[in-house]
Chains A and B, each alone.
Chain A
Amino acid sequence: MSDSTATDAGDGVPHTDTVLPEPLSGAGYDEPSETGTEKGLIVETSEGAQELFPRTQTGPDELRREAGAVLRLPEGVVINADDIDIEVSDDETMIINMGPQHPSTHGVLRLMIELDGETVLRTKPVIGYLHTGMEKTAEELTYVQGPTNVTRMDYLSPLHNELVLSLAVEALLGVEMPPRSDWIRMLLVELNRMSSHLMWMATNGMDHASTSMMIYGFREREMILAFFEKTTGLRMNHNFIRPGGTAADLPDGWEDDVTVICDTVLPRLDEYDELLTGQPLFRQRSEGVGNLSAEEALALSLTGPLLRSTGVPWDLRRAMPYLRYDEVEFDVIVGTFGDNFDRYSIRLNEIRESIRIVRQIVEKMPAGDYRVQDKKVTPPPRGRIDESMEALIHHFKVFTEGFRVPEGEVYVATESPRGELGCYLVSDGSPKPYRMHIRGPSFVNLQALPLMMRGGLLADGVVACSSVDPVMGEVDR
């Protein structure tokens, strides 16, 4: 007791809120006084300027943005900060943190929410808790090693990440891919889309307090992951789609496995319809919640189910076909109202469309090579290594030094379950990328969240966050 009183007395500095806390390693931190610990805690949890500040400390520009007025205003219109919102005064609103360790933020997403009672006024996503510097790491890895890195970005659709990097590298290399490798890739990517959407159905169900849906979604997803394990050796983070083709051919009897998956999942989707789609409680919680307009979606660069839910029929598989998507039949699912229910039904029906595509792939799968027979890119087959010294050297060179990619830059985009997954790749002619930038759809789509949550209830915010379907591994990279 005497210690603490001595500290209080000896402190001398008036304790005000406006004084910035000292750094953690500061001299004052060493003595465990009460005020010191308090200061230390503030330092540990604060991200400074990235945070959401009280209304009084917020400039009009930011207030306008956070109030959801994201669309460009006509020339000459000046926004006055006082006109924007609302009669709320600062002491009636409360800023709370949701996350980063909150189960319904789908990972380490931190939302700072300004609440007036239970109504959400402003939201600011604070991200970066899962940042691992993957774009920097990519510059240190060869093109052969690259897929092991990118596959960990969007961990729910790892094959899409591998695909987009491989397509970018192949575009720079200018190699012509054998048809079978394209079809194998398409099969895996569509199955991955199904597993990703099923996972979303599960977590979205849980956010709607339907825990049985959560179990069902995981059950179906596990079937697909078992097939991935059989094919690639791993349930996730496969490193199977590589520049120049795939790592191996499909296993024997893959047609049967895939057909069983399709035959099992399809009737179960009808069960989901009964469980959720027709359910009055579910509909009341999702219809008309988290609305977006097509204008807003385009302005905010939203893609994937978020954009399609507003009625814009934009799917890169249809609009700018890559692989062999122009040779299969499928429908682009489009919503009308841009609310959570539309996004739910789009994802549900996209599973059906993926099943349709997978069935066509089973019929149309051509024979041939599963990787390009370009000696510069592809290591020699295993059998040759035992016979020939040159093949052994070649194999060694491909996996240690890697292959060289011509100088240039390219942007390749694919349709991942979450939207446009792009890869901007710059090569300086060495075996490592000079710069690799991944355009993560979740990263961009997350910008819609303040708009979707605005004016709604906090409980609806949980559902809105779920319907964006952010994967934090991709948001933070």
Chain B
Amino acid sequence: MTTTTDGDATSDAPAPAVSTPRVRRDSAQEILFPTREQYLEVVGGLRDEGFEMCADLCAVDYLTHPGRHLPDGMVPERFEVVVNLLSLSQVRRVRVRVQVPATDAEVATLFDLYPGTEAMEREAYDLLGIVFTGHPDMTRILLPEDWEGHPLRKDYGVGRVPVQFKGAPGPR
């Protein structure tokens, strides 16, 4: 179970032993919503089902947009890790969306299932600060090592550079 803050939602959610994640299908997009505990098992199951490739892995910070549409009983958390799997044999895509709480921004790595996620997980760690436990090299990939903060987080200050236009009237 994910760490939930809402009591009602916890009672709605299935017991941890149930490994069938919620599924949503709309307009040729198939989306799975496993909990963090089901995550590895679900992705592993999909891999055995014939999804040979992990096409993409990224994360989203839903800090300023909490009211997104999720299946019933799913508790929205601040972060979401989004995995796009691809089956070349069945010509099919499936998307896995995992809720990751802000207080404990950790999720298991997919490196053992799909080694190609190595760089993608490092990117998600670098830009959003989500730690992938078990990843062999959890270091920053795009930003320098001594960079502070994770820029794609919504509470990251972007900063501004004042622009002085030529001939513009000075500050009044």
Binding site for B on A (CB under 8 A): 23, 46-50, 59, 61-62, 64-65, 70-72, 127-128, 131, 133, 135-136, 140, 298-303, 312, 314, 319-320, 407-411, 413, 420, 422, 424, 426, 428, 434-435, 437, 439, 443-444, 446-447, 476-477
Contacts and interface: CB of A to CB of B under 8 A. Distances in A.
A71, A128, A140, A443 pick with most chain B CB within 10 angstroms:
A128
A50 B137 CA distance: 8
Contact of A420 (B55, B112, B141): B55
B112 to A, nearest CB: 6
Nearest to B84: A411
A47 B137 CA distance: 14
Interface string B71-104: 0000000000010100010010101000000000
28 contacts: A46-B145, A48-B139, A48-B146, A59-B136, A72-B113, A128-B144, A135-B127, A298-B53, A298-B88, A300-B115, A301-B54, A301-B114, A302-B116, A312-B88, A320-B93, A407-B69, A413-B55, A413-B93, A420-B55, A422-B55, A428-B64, A434-B65, A435-B152, A437-B56, A437-B58, A443-B119, A444-B120, A447-B116
Given A298-B88, A437-B56, A437-B82, 18 more contacts: A23-B146, A47-B145, A48-B144, A49-B145, A128-B141, A128-B142, A131-B143, A136-B158, A301-B120, A303-B55, A320-B91, A424-B82, A439-B84, A443-B123, A444-B120, A446-B119, A447-B118, A447-B119
Interface in B107-159: 112-120, 123, 127, 136-137, 139-146, 151-152, 158
A128 B151 CA distance: 14
Contacts of A435: 60-61, 152
B52 interface: yes
A322 to B, nearest CB: 12
Contacts of A71: 115
B122 to A, nearest CB: 9
A411 B95 contact: yes
Contact of B139 (A49, A72, A320, A446): A49
Contacts of B95: 411
B164 interface: no
Contacts of A447: 115-116, 118-119
Provide the main secondary structure of the chain B interface.
loop
A346 B170 CA distance: 60
Contact of B118 (A65, A314, A420): A65
A169 to B, nearest CB: 15
B5 interface: no
Contacts, number: 120
B68 interface: yes
A-B pairs, top 3 by smallest CB distance, nearest first, are A301-B116, A48-B145, A128-B142
B148 to A, nearest CB: 13
A47 B152 CA distance: 21
Nearest to A427: B65
B29 interface: yes
Contacts of B136: 59, 61-62, 64-65
Given A50-B145, A128-B143, A300-B116, A407 B68 contact: yes
Interface in B17-40: 29
A135 B152 contact: yes
Contacts of A300: 115-116
A476 B145 contact: no
Contact of A136 (B52, B55, B123, B152): B152
B70 to A, nearest CB: 11
Given A299-B115, A422-B56, A411 B93 contact: yes
Given A49-B139, A301-B114, A439 B55 contact: yes
Nearest to B58: A437
A187 B95 CA distance: 31
Nearest to A46: B145
Contacts of B91: 319-320
A62 B119 CA distance: 13
B158 A444 contact: no
Contacts of A446: 119
Contacts of B112: 72
Contacts of A64: 136
Contacts of B68: 407, 428
